[in-house]
Amino acid sequence: MMREDWRGRIDAADGDSGRRWHQVVEPLDAAARAGVALLGFMSDEGVARNQGRTGAREGPRALRRALAPLAYHAGRGTPLYDAGDVACEDHDLEGAQATLGAQVAGHLGRGHFPMLLGGGHEIAWGSFQGVAEALARDGRLPRFGVVNFDAHFDLRSGPPTSGTPFRQIRDELAARGLPFRYLCLGISRASNTPALFRAARESGARWILDEDLVWPRWDAACQVIDGFVDSIDALQLSFCLDAFPADSAPGVSAPAARGLAPDMAFTLLRHLLDRAGHGGAHTKVVLAEIAELAPCHDPDGRTARLAARLVHDIVTPLL
Ligand SMILES: [Mn+2]
């Protein structure tokens, strides 16, 4: 754990109720009791292969720094761990994804909730490998699904990149004779060609366009989300920061002109988590991940702050 990333103000006079994340997070060791495990994926090799702007390799570090000063709200006293980073070296994306998957499987096996800090969206194929191993063990893989907040489907064919992870997941599930349940929230018609929409249809993907994720259509969006969440027992929650508009999230590979307004995205996220029983005795959410934070395109840190708030909102109900 990089201590220098976890620092911030200390309100000593307020005791335990004045604590912030940097005062609570601990390094994860093998004997630790079940908690939330923050795990970074230092890679933008998938972005580079996908002809995108690189920079997401440094995302985990910037995200930790944005998380450090957040107010800590303890509910049940679940520990919060920093499980370190998996880094892609020498362009070995497949190796890094396999390592990430092995670490995720290990954390899940010890009862932790993995909260992944990306990294390009190629993170999702790595994390899925670990999720699949854990769910195959406990029998939930047949009722597994993915919800992805994203402007893009990331269902491309061809060699593995940041644009292919959900097609890789689809193919892996198909090889096991299992269905692919995939719901995309925030898809942009301007950013996906008719060929990509056709690939999504042929994959059985469901989606809601960014233009339909507006308050007058709230009830319709919730019906789709509820139907999807109710149809599964185990959920991988993926959040690509390019689902937000460029003025809110400039620090990504492909900033969106329109995107989901943050208040809509956060409210949808909350609704989804509630529907999945997140924060109750049993959550369907197996793992969550934030993708595409590229600090070099985020000079005032606003994308990192938005990403940190997402992590906060996903993790706090578990703490
Ligand atoms: Mn994506």
Judge if pTM exceeds 0.95. yes
How confident is the prediction along the chain (319 residues), in pLDDT tens digits per residue? 667 899 999 999 999 999 999 999 999 998 899 999 999 999 999 999 999 999 999 999 999 999 999 999 988 899 999 999 999 999 999 999 999 999 999 999 999 999 999 999 999 999 999 999 999 999 999 999 999 999 999 999 999 999 999 999 999 999 999 999 999 999 999 999 999 999 999 999 999 999 999 999 999 999 999 999 999 999 999 999 999 999 999 999 999 999 999 999 999 999 999 999 998 889 999 999 999 999 999 999 999 999 999 999 999 999 9
Q: Distance from the CA of 257 to the center of ligand 1, in angstroms? A: 15
Query: Does the domain at residues 3-318 carry the CATH identifier 1.10.240.10?
Result: no
CA of 300 to the centre of ligand 1 (A): 22
Distance 23 CA to ligand 1 centre (A): 32
Q: How far away, in angstroms, is 172 Cα from ligand 1 center?
A: 19
12: buried, middle or exposed (CB in 10 Å: 19+, 13-18, 0-12)? exposed
The residue among 39, 59, 32 whose CA lies nearest residue 47 is 59
CA–centroid distance, 150 to ligand 1, in Å, is: 5
Evaluate whether 154 touches 165 at the Cβ level (below 8 Å).
yes
Closest CA to 97 of 140, 184, 161, 33: 161
CA 81 to mean position of chain CA atoms: 17
Q: How far is the CA of 10 from the centre of ligand 1 (A)?
A: 36
At which residue do the structure tokens 């990509």 appear? 196
Distance (angstroms) between ligand 1 centre and the Cα of 280 equals: 29
Residues 238 and 56: their CA atoms lie apart, in Å, by 15
Span from the CA of 294 to the centroid of ligand 1 (angstroms): 13
